[in-house]
């Protein structure tokens, strides 16, 4: 079927179309150079659309996509990393880092005890490295934890 390349190519064409539209909407400045701020992005969008067309009409072999379980692990890890990004400041460095590393470690090799040990080790080790060897300003725990 070779459906992946065709779908991806269609997405590329659609994306390029939106991109070119957006580029046409760029406000023209008063004193523009001969080419102006629109032409180059529009050109890039058109070339990308041509590449998309090639992918639709001469697709490659199907890539081996992961099975459902691996796919869900990857989606889960993505959500975890986003949550990690938001928790870094309010919750301090140590706890979110330990949890995030332990979960990722478990996803790679499902050994719960070892994942917890790796998580704690990575969290404390990196904190020491970043804070004391490299002098980054990190907070180990939430700042208002100790008042």
Partner 1 sequence: MEILQNLQLGFSIALSPWTLMLAVAGCFIGTIVGALPGLGPSNGVAIMIPLTFSLSLDATSSLVLLTSIYYGAMYGGRISSILLNIPGDEPAMMTTLDGYPMAKAGRAADALVISGVASFVGALLATIGLAILAPALSRIAFEFGPGEYFALYLLAFCTLGGVASNNQAKAAFASCLGIAIAMVGLDPNSGTPRLTGSNLHLYDGVDFLVAIVGLFAVSEVFFFIESHGKSGASNVKLGKVRIPWRDIFEVRWVMLRSSILGFICGVLPGAGASLGSFMTYVTEKGIAGEKGGFGTGVPKGVAAPEAGNNAAAGGALVPMLTLGVPGSGTTAVLLAVLVTLNITPGPMLFVEEKEVVWGLIASLLIANFVLLAMNVPMVKVFVKILEVPPAALMPAVTMISMVGIFSLTGSYFDLILVVAFGVLGYVLRKMDIPTVPVILGILLGGKMEKSLRDAMVLSDGSAWGLIYTRPSEPTNPSMIASGLLIAAVLGFIAPMFLRRILRKPQRVSD
Distance in angstroms (rounded) separating the CA atoms of residues 81 and 96:
10
Nearer to partner 1, 60 or 145 (CB): 60
Q: Which of 14, 60, 142, 145 binds partner 1 (CB under 8 A)?
A: 60
The yes or no reply on residue 126 touching partner 1 (CB under 8 A) is yes
Q: Which helix (H) or strand (E) covers residue 79, if one does? A: helix 68-91
Nearer to partner 1, 25 or 147 (CB): 25
Supply the minimum distance, in Å, between the C-beta of residue 85 and partner 1: 4
Q: Which of 1, 3, 29, 113 binds partner 1 (CB under 8 A)?
A: 29
Q: Angle CA(38)–CA(41)–CA(42) in degrees, nearest 5?
A: 75
The yes or no reply on residue 8 touching partner 1 (CB under 8 A) is yes
The yes or no reply on residue 113 touching partner 1 (CB under 8 A) is no
Q: Which of 6, 10, 17, 23 binds partner 1 (CB under 8 A)?
A: 23
The yes or no reply on residue 102 touching partner 1 (CB under 8 A) is yes
86: Cα separation from own chain's centroid: 14
Which residues, including other chains, have CB under 8 Å from residue 97's CB and lie 6 or more apart?
84, 119, 122, 123, 126, 127
Which residues, including other chains, have CB under 8 Å from residue 29's CB and lie 6 or more apart?
36, 37
Supply the minimum distance, in Å, between the C-beta of residue 88 and partner 1: 6
The yes or no reply on residue 140 touching partner 1 (CB under 8 A) is no
Find the helix packing angle between 112-128 and 94-108, rounded to 10°.
140
């Amino acid at each position: 079927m070779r459906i992946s390349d065709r779908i991806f190519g269609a997405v590329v064409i659609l994306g390029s179309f939106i991109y070119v539209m957006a580029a046409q909407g760029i406000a023209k400045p008063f004193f523009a150079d001969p080419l102006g701020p629109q032409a180059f992005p529009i050109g890039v969008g058109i070339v990308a659309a041509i590449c998309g067309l090639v992918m639709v009409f001469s697709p490659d072999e199907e890539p081996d996509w992961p099975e459902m379980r691996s796919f869900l692990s990857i989606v889960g890890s993505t959500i975890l990393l986003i949550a990690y990004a938001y928790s870094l400041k309010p919750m301090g460095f140590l706890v979110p880092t330990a949890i995030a590393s332990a979960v990722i470690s478990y996803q790679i090799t499902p050994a719960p005890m070892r994942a917890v040990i790796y998580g704690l080790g990575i969290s404390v080790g990196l904190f020491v490295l970043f804070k004391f060897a490299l002098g980054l300003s990190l907070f180990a725990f939430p700042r208002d934890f100790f008042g």
